Chains A and B, each alone.
Chain A
């Protein structure tokens, strides 16, 4: 596989202009769908930065958001987390594991027809709070729950 790739690079490397055009095409194609991916948010290393990338700085806490996650997760590689939002017009739900190397784990954009509920499994490096950030009616709300991790799942 690797040898084939090298040969390919050598061959196309000769025709510089052609390679450049080809590469440009690839990059453009890649960006088209990557544009919506919250790169800044997923690469931020602190909770505050992750919140900022979502535009959720200063979000209010809400009791209408329920996080369903175990109190103690024995295996940090698989922590089931479900978020239920009873807030009207829930548009977006994000899950953040505060002490992960990259805290923001997932963002779910909900469009009409889907309930304010998502469930997924995430990795957690160590015991920390799991935050749910919910966007409803243009405003942001949060809730959090501590999950104790026995064996970290990031190594």
Chain B
């Protein structure tokens, strides 16, 4: 259903710089379509980021987050090959989980 996320995690020293791009319409419930009907509200409510299975970031979002949301964070004490997991849940109960590994510094 939902498109896969793009997750990039690169090591900078012992900190992993994680960048996540989610594919989601993020409708505010205020926009109208061509027929003048309000497009129903549809947005990601929560995003959980884990590092080797341990939650490092738990977010709550509103409809004010842009379409195809971007999320950036830095995780301390990361090593190359560590697993970064991302799960989002939207207001319709739709979910998606993707995983990436931390790439060594280039």
Contacts and interface: CB of A to CB of B under 8 A. Distances in A.
B75 A114 contact: yes
B76 interface: yes
Given A108-B57, A109-B59, A113-B75, 15 more contacts: A42-B62, A82-B72, A104-B64, A109-B58, A111-B54, A113-B51, A114-B74, A115-B73, A115-B74, A117-B72, A117-B74, A120-B70, A121-B69, A123-B28, A155-B31
B89 A114 contact: no
| Interface residues of chain B: helix, strand, loop or mixed (majority) | strand
Given A33-B89, A119-B72, A120-B70, A111 B55 contact: yes
Interface residues of A, number: 39
Contacts of A113: 51, 54, 56, 75-77
Contacts of B97: none
Interface in B6-60: 15, 28, 30-31, 45-46, 49, 51, 54-60
B57 A38 contact: no
Interface string A95-123: 00100111011111111111101111111
16 contacts: A33-B46, A36-B60, A37-B46, A42-B60, A105-B62, A106-B59, A106-B62, A108-B58, A109-B58, A111-B54, A113-B54, A113-B76, A114-B76, A119-B71, A122-B66, A154-B28
Interface size class of B (residues with CB under 8 A): 20 to 34
Nearest to B56: A114
B75 to A, nearest CB: 5
A122 B15 CA distance: 25
Nearest to A109: B58
Listed from nearest, the 3 A-B pairs whose CB atoms lie closest are A119-B72, A105-B64, A114-B56
A88 to B, nearest CB: 13
A116 B17 CA distance: 12
B71 A154 contact: no
